A = this chain, B = another copy of it.
Amino acid sequence: MSQTTTMKLLTIVTENLLKEQIITLLKEHHITGFTISRVEGEGSRGVRASDWEGPNLKIEAIISPQGAEQILERISAQFFDNYAVIAWLSDVAVLRGGKFAQPSQSKSS
């Protein structure tokens, strides 16, 4: 009945200066389609709060569930200690056979 399949929406909010580094990381995981929007960060999270305030980028990509947590961990390992970056995953339903081919990542379900 359902025509949809569950994918992950990866959302990254980051300082502007990390844009290219994060896009490079995503492409290493075969994520070649994403959107970028501008957001203002406010408040403190305890870590480099001063960097958090001001212009930030929000990067969003629909990715395969396989490997999604691994990408989250790479972002964390590479950026969380020294930059104002947060990232999260959420479940989204897309139409089966949509535009979300995930080469080499969907060997098991």
Contacts and interface: CB of A to CB of B under 8 A. Distances in A.
Interface of A: 2-4, 7, 9, 11, 13, 23, 27, 31-47, 52, 56, 58, 60, 62, 69, 72-73, 76, 80, 86-95, 98-101
Closest 3 CB pairs of A and B: A32-B43, A35-B39, A88-B92
Contacts of A62: 86, 88
Instruction: Kindly report how many copies of this chain are found in the complex they form together.
Output: 3
Contacts of A56: 35
A90 B44 contact: no
The binding surface of chain A is classed by DSSP as strand
A29 to B, nearest CB: 12
Nearest to A46: B101
